[in-house]
Amino acid sequence: MRWEARTMASKKSSYKGLWSGSLFARNLRRFWPLWAALCVVWFLILPGNILNESSRRAALSPEFLRELLLNFVYPAVFLCGAGGLASSLCVWQYLCSAKAAQAWHGFPLKREGLFYTNFASGLAIALIPVAFAIAATLGACFLNGPSRTPMDAVVVLLAVMSASALFGFCLGTFCVQLTGNLVMAAALFVVLNGAAVAARSMVFTLAESLTWGLSFSGSPGPVVRWLTPLWKLSQETHISYSVIGDGGMAVIGFQGLWIYGVYSLAALGLAVLALALNHFRHTETAGDAIAVLWLRPVFRLAVSLAAAMGLTLVCLYIYGGLSAAPLAAVVLLLLVGSFAGWFASQMLLNKSFRVFGKHTFLGWGILALALVLCASALKLDLGGRQAYVPDASQVTGVTAEFTAASGDWEADPAETVALHRAILQNREILERDSGYPTLTLTYTLADGSTLRRSYSLDRNSIDRVPGLTVRLRNYMCQPEAALQRVFQGIDPSEIPTGYVNWYAQQGFYEDGIWTAPDDAALRRDIELSLQAGFNGARLHQKCFDDRFHYWADKLGYLTWAEFPDWGLS
């Protein structure tokens, strides 16, 4: 403890100030293996790649270097974010030990000063590898030629790396202030980066398994996207290209850089929240799973809900699929999962297996009752959403899609409503054996709203419903619907009309068995077929010679090729 002794003995540092230069320098020296290792990794990733390409080519063009650097944007988000998390865990590790926390809080430094100094030193540890990577990258680019250095790409990479390191460190700092355990802090970091989209996915998937026809698929809303940084950055930031010459592509920049600025501001907000939590944090909470007392019920509830939905979805997927789940099975799984999550969270909070008591069962009982009521309301369709079919007079347009047929088509509202009602009238049969294929109906109503329903219709189940197979076939096989599915986006007046008269052509030759003896035999096959009145053929059981397709194109002969199958699959 020589450093502490020198600090307390020094006249300049024996005050309750807001900054300690000695502590800042000590943290940099103490955790040098972390930032040094990150520097080595970044040297291998960025300058190493540039030097490797330079050794293989005479001179690298600015366009090539720009694309090379911008392609490392997404790896930089993950690596710099992870580096920021590691830095935060290093500088705040003393908060996870009661003895260490008491010793550090006994320094001649205000708690806010201790926070400022550790925060600055941790952020410096996270940003040192960024500065080194950019400097080494500029050096490698200058060796290739200063005039060929794409400074715009370097600036973008610097901004992305700095913002990612800042956000990772601030979020890690916020997580450490919430808990008194390093493992729990790292887990919270991962959870907060994906909790919104994961919770949405589990809730909607479970709702779809309890209902029939309702579809909750689609991209997450703006709030969920912003609360999931990795998803937001990977989906809405990208390299932009321009077409040059005959199909060539050139990198012109990077779009979505402002999103990193927003997350940088959010990181500063997290830092302020972390400072407030640190100010009111009790030293005795070191080692606790959740250090903030009022957050413990929230933690218990979140773990219980995640365990309930996770166990239910996994078991339904393994034992019977996620569609048409029985209510009794879902309720049982929700109860078991929620109790397991409640027990596990209480055990983590109490740091003991002795967690049972009247308050334990009371809290879990309220949660279990809420889960049962929600599941029952969805399964029994208490709101009437699953049984609702709009009147044909209220529908201005219908788009239908059937997974057994390619594409979608504009359907007749009256026929769609009649088919929809026929499906609902036979729900017990169709829902029990639901599977592939899927019929999706999207109504556009007179008030401008849309209504979407999706039904999995197993072929065997359809056959057991009198008249449904014929109704569905007639609904799909209308000429207008078929043309829309096959020729999407093409003016119907421009589609050539006519009939095909085909046969299955085996490609057998007396002189060559499955191989044509010469090119003339291939042409002769097509000419004989045309003379017989056929205008095409389904090429059966083998891959035909390229010259056969050549003569088919020359002579106006349609072909439909298929994969060979010798019965060995």
Residue 284 contacts residue 292 (beta carbons within 8 Å): no
Q: Within 13 Å and on the Cβ side, how many CA atoms surround 268?
A: 6
List residues bridging with 456 in a β-sheet: 438
Lowest pLDDT segment from 116-120, 159-163, 560-564? 560-564
d(CA 421, CA 13): 81
Give the pLDDT score at 319: 78
Let me know: does 144 contact 57? Beta carbons within 8 Å.
no
Please determine, for residue 441, whether its predicted confidence score (pLDDT) is greater than 70.
yes
Strand, helix or coil for residue 561: strand
Are the CB atoms for 250 and 489 separated by under 8 Å? no
**What DSSP line would sit under 475-511, residue for residue?**
HH--HHHHHHHHSTTS-GGGS------EEEE---BTT
**Beta strand ranges found along 132-207 (DSSP E):** none
Tens of pLDDT, residues 82-93: 999 999 999 999
Asked if 109 and 20 touch (Cβ cutoff 8 Å), the reply is yes
Residue 564 has pLDDT above 70, yes or no: no
Distance of CA 129 to the CA centre of its chain: 28
Burial 281-299 (b: 16+ CB within 10 A, else e): beeebbbbbbbbeeebeeb
User: Which residues does 18 contact at the CB level (< 8 Å), separation at least 6?
Assistant: 109, 110, 112, 113, 116
Q: Which residue has the tokens 């709030």?
A: 223
The CB density around residue 479, as the number of other CB atoms within 10 Å, is: 9
Beta partners for residue 397, in sequence order: 444
Confidence of residue 334 (pLDDT cuts 50, 70, 90): very high
- Residue 108: the pLDDT is 76
Question: In the prediction, which pLDDT does 569 show?
Answer: 45
Query: What is the average per-residue pLDDT within 43-58?
Result: 85
How much is the mean pLDDT over the chain?
Answer: 82
Ranges 94-108, 142-156, 403-417: which has the least confidence: 403-417
CA pair distance 238, 99, nearest whole angstrom? 48
Backbone CA torsion sign across 504, 509, 515, 516: negative
The two structure tokens encoding residue 408: 């979608």
pLDDT tens-digit map of 356-409: 766 777 888 999 999 999 999 988 888 888 889 999 889 998 888 877 665 677
pLDDT score, position 320: 66
| Confidence at residue 88, expressed as pLDDT on a 0 to 100 scale | 94
pLDDT of residue 42: 92
In this structure, the number of other CB atoms found within 10 A of the CB of residue 180 comes to 25
CB contact at 8 A, 138 and 103: no
The first and second tokens of residue 197, run together, are: 């989209």
Rounded Cα gap, residues 505 and 558, in angstroms? 12
Residue-wise pLDDT for 477-527, tens only, equals 666 665 555 555 566 566 666 677 888 888 888 777 778 888 888 898 899
Q: What is the pLDDT of residue 250?
A: 56
Q: What is the pLDDT of residue 247?
A: 45
pLDDT band at residue 246 under the 50/70/90 scheme: very low
- Whose tokens are 């609902």? That residue is 424
Task: Please tell me the pTM assigned to this model.
Answer: 0.74
Residue-level pLDDT at 11: 43
Please give the Cα distance from 379 to 533 (Å, whole number): 58
pLDDT digits (tens, 9 = 90+) for 51-71: 888 888 777 777 888 888 888
What's the pLDDT band for 4 if we cut at 50, 70, 90? very low
Is residue 127 very low, low, confident or very high in pLDDT (cuts 50, 70, 90)? Answer: very high
Residues 83-118: b if buried by 16+ CB within 10 A, e if exposed: bbbbbbbbbbebbbeeeebeebeebebebebbbbbb
Distance CA 471, CA 465 (A): 11
Cα–Cα distance, 35 to 132 (Å, whole number): 10
